[in-house]
Amino acid sequence: MNAIQIRTMAKDFILKEFLPGERPENLTDSTELITDGILDSLATLKLVAYLEKSCGIEIAPDELVPENLNSITQIANFVQSKQAST
């Protein structure tokens, strides 16, 4: 999966699950997901479970930190680095 595909997938999932009714253009690649309160801790766990399943990666408990998941761009970079290491 390339970065664009991962970004699209993560964005679609976040819009559908956590931002029902939001205009897609309001969620940008740099929108702060955790620090701006869009993903709470439970939502973060749901997103991680989704990424693991659909990208075929396993995310270690220690990797559940805002630095890896705070924006669509960070999520895409993180998922790609996981895919590259497996």
Residues at the contact surface with another protein, assessed by CB under 8 A = 19-23, 26-27, 31-32, 35-38, 40-42, 44-45, 61-62, 64-65
Nearer to another protein among residue 4 and residue 20 (C-beta): 20
CB of 2 to another protein, least distance (A): 26
CB of 71 to another protein, least distance (A): 12
What's the CA gap between 7 and 79, in Å, rounded?
10
Nearer to another protein among residue 34 and residue 55 (C-beta): 34
Sequence-ordered list of residues with C-beta below 8 angstroms from that of 75, at least 6 positions apart, any chain: 6, 7, 10, 47, 51, 68, 69
What's the CA gap between 77 and 2, in Å, rounded?
10
